[in-house]
Amino acid sequence: MSNRHELRYVCDKVRYWLYTRKNETVATRYQDRLQRLLKTIPSRDIAIQVAEARVLLCILKAQMRREIKLRQREIELIVRLQLSLKGSVKSGKMSRKTASKILNDTGYNLAGLRRRRAIVAKLMHEFE
C-alpha cells in the first residue's frame, strides 16, 4: 500500500471514530501512524487530502489554534479545486456531470465547504 493510500485509510478511520462513533480515545490510537505518514510527505504538498490529514492530527493533539490555520488552508485548496473544475467545464475540457461527481465523491462540494467554514467560525469564536 502506498503512503497516500495508507494516509487515506488512516484519515477514514480517524474521521469514523471522531465523528461517527464519537470516541476520541479510539481515534487517538491512530495519532502516531498519522504523524509518521505525514512526515513522509513534503511540507509544501498541496493535496487537499494531506491538508485534511494535518487538520485531523491537530484535532488528535488538541492543537486548536493550529487547527484553525490548517482548516483555512484546506478551505483555500477546496476553493481552488472548485474554480479549476469550473474553468474546465467552461472551456469544454470536462462535463458538468464529471466535475460534479468529482466534488461530490470527495466531499469537496459546496456542502463540504460550508461545513468546513462553519467549523472554522466555531473554533474562532471559542478563542474570542
pLDDT over 90 (residue 38): yes
Contact indicator for 124, 68 with CB cutoff of 8 Å: yes
The three-class DSSP label of residue 21 is: coil
How many domains does the chain divide into? 2
Closest Cα to residue 38, out of 18, 72, 14, 65? 14
Structural domain of residue 116, as residue ranges?
Answer: 64-128
Q: Do 106 and 50 belong together in one domain?
A: no
pLDDT band at 42 (very low <50, low <70, confident <90, very high): confident
Q: What pLDDT score does 106 carry?
A: 86
Same domain, 109 and 81: yes
- Cell 493535496, residue located: 47
- Same structural domain for residues 72 and 34? no
Instruction: Kindly report the average pLDDT of the chain as a whole number.
Output: 93
Kindly report the pTM of this predicted structure. 0.86
Which of the listed residues 40, 62, 84 is the one where a domain comes to its end? 62
Residues 48, 82, single domain; the answer is: no
